[in-house]
Amino acid sequence: MSPAELLTLLVGTPSVSGEEGPLADLVQNLLATQGFQVQRQGNNLWFSFGKPGGARLLLNSHLDTVPPSAGWEGDPFTPVWHGSRLQGLGANDAKGCVTAILLAAFDLAAQPLDGEVVVALTAEEETGGQGIATILDQLGPLDGAVVGEPTGLRVCAAQRGMLLLKCTARGQSGHVANAQMLGAENAIHKAARDIAKVAAMEFPAHPLLGSQKAQVTQITGGLRRNQVPDACEFFIDLRTGPDQDHDALCADFQRQLESEVAIHSKRYLPKGTDPGHAIVRAALQAAKKAGPVGSGTTSDWAFLGGIPAVKAGPGDTFRSHSPNEYLTIQELEAGADFYAKLVPAFFKMQVPHEA
């Protein structure tokens, strides 16, 4: 099966998050015909090959897609080639990466390797659900990982995390006409003061990720137009860097704001890998890049714990989640070549895992 045929087959099998079963079935059967012993939990698939006892490298990407947005020309679930471009839901994010990893695995499995490759193709990445985090403990010890996402084969050695804070301003309810006389405290006014503080906050810049601002993304308050509000709730979204601790950040917000501050979500942890680590150097060598970059988007890297990792793959992040997303055959072939070259380079650079 050619690279173009494999990509067309995967893109033509719908796999919106939570509905990856048909695609998981297809990929599992395909791998079995290639002689791989595939393990499965839910719609997560994984298999390994190479030299046991050496260093172990994870290649990971996700099978699921977001639902199609408005604005598609034609059926998003029907892949269509426009010259060298394949248009279809998931072509860019991230079935191009899945296809490239599979092509590299087919090539590498026939070669002598100085270590063991673990390939994990997982579910529900787009919803933060039952994916890589649920099977990580079954993959065994890992010395490095590559997370396949559309980065234009730029090597991301840092990735922002996501901290969501729920803030509640408390006030005293009363009739608007009597508010000044009663000294009723307006919760929306309190929240407004805090929101202005949030907008003015500055955070240290990261060398690969740059600077970031906290964003207030939702606000709710008030019961009646003639009643002083006694509560106002708003949410803060802060995309964090590898040197920021989510609990410490929450405590810092609480010190600066009048409102009550609580963590709504902190599970998407920021990640960073030393640029001198073997996984970064091997990826840069395979991609022929001078140095790593940072990524502002989250991925399954957030759930890999302390495993040294990079994020890299064919495609363009700005096409993701947009109508008429596509991948070119040149990008696909370059992605397969990238993964195939990265693996042996990593094994040559990496000290084997000690049990």
* Residue 330 exposed, middle or buried by CB count within 10 Å (0-12, 13-18, 19+): exposed
Place of tokens 């994010």: 93
> What is the CB neighbour count within 10 angstroms for residue 67?
12
pLDDT tens column, 188-215: 999 999 999 999 999 999 999 999 999 9
CA dihedral 50, 148, 142, 305 (to 10 degrees): -170
Q: Taken in order 182, 187, 188, 189, is the CA torsion positive or negative? A: positive
**Residue 353: per-residue pLDDT:** 45
Question: For residues 299 and 147, is the Cβ–Cβ distance under 8 A?
Answer: yes
Which pLDDT score, from 0 to 100, does residue 221 have?
A: 95
The Cα 159–Cα 307 span in angstroms is 14
Please report, for residues 24, 56, 285, 340, the alpha-carbon distance to residue 103 in angstroms, rounded to integers and kept in the order given: 17, 19, 19, 8
Per-residue pLDDT of the chain (355 residues; tens, 9 = 90+): 899 999 999 999 999 999 999 999 999 999 999 999 999 999 999 999 999 999 999 999 999 999 999 999 999 999 999 999 999 999 999 999 999 999 999 999 999 999 999 999 999 999 987 899 999 999 999 999 999 999 999 999 999 999 999 999 999 988 888 777 666 789 999 999 999 999 999 999 999 999 999 999 999 999 899 899 999 999 999 999 999 999 999 999 999 999 999 999 999 999 999 999 999 999 999 999 999 999 999 999 999 999 999 999 999 999 999 999 999 999 999 999 999 999 999 999 975 444 4
Return the SS3 of 294. Answer: strand
Tell me the CA end-to-end span of the chain in Å, nearest whole number: 39
User: pLDDT for 109-159, tens place per residue?
Assistant: 999 999 999 999 999 999 987 899 999 999 999 999 999 999 999 999 999
The DSSP bridge partners found for residue 175 are 227
Half-sphere exposure of 264 (CA within 13 A, CB side): 16
- Measured between alpha carbons, how far is residue 179 from residues 49, 58, 172, 191, 226 in Å? 72, 62, 9, 17, 10
The total number of residues written for the chain in this structure: 355
Contact (CB, 8 A) for 282 and 312 = no
Residue 354 identity (one-letter amino acid): E
**What SS3 string covers 95-149?**
HHHHHHHHHHHHHHCCCCCCEEEEEEEECCCCCCCCCHHHHHHHCCCCCEEEECC
pLDDT at site 180: 75
Report CA 204 to chain centroid distance, whole Å: 23
What is the largest distance, in Å, between two alpha-carbon atoms of the chain? Answer: 84
Contact predicate 96/331, CB 8 Å: yes
Amino acid at 200: A
Q: How far apart are CA 263 and CA 167, in angstroms?
A: 9
**What is the pTM (predicted TM-score) of this model?**
0.91
**Token code pair at residue 158:** 């840092």
Report the C-alpha gap between 291 and 281 in whole angstroms: 9
pLDDT of amino acid 95: 98
User: What does the alpha-carbon distance between residue 265 and residue 212 come to, in Å, rounded to a whole number?
Assistant: 18
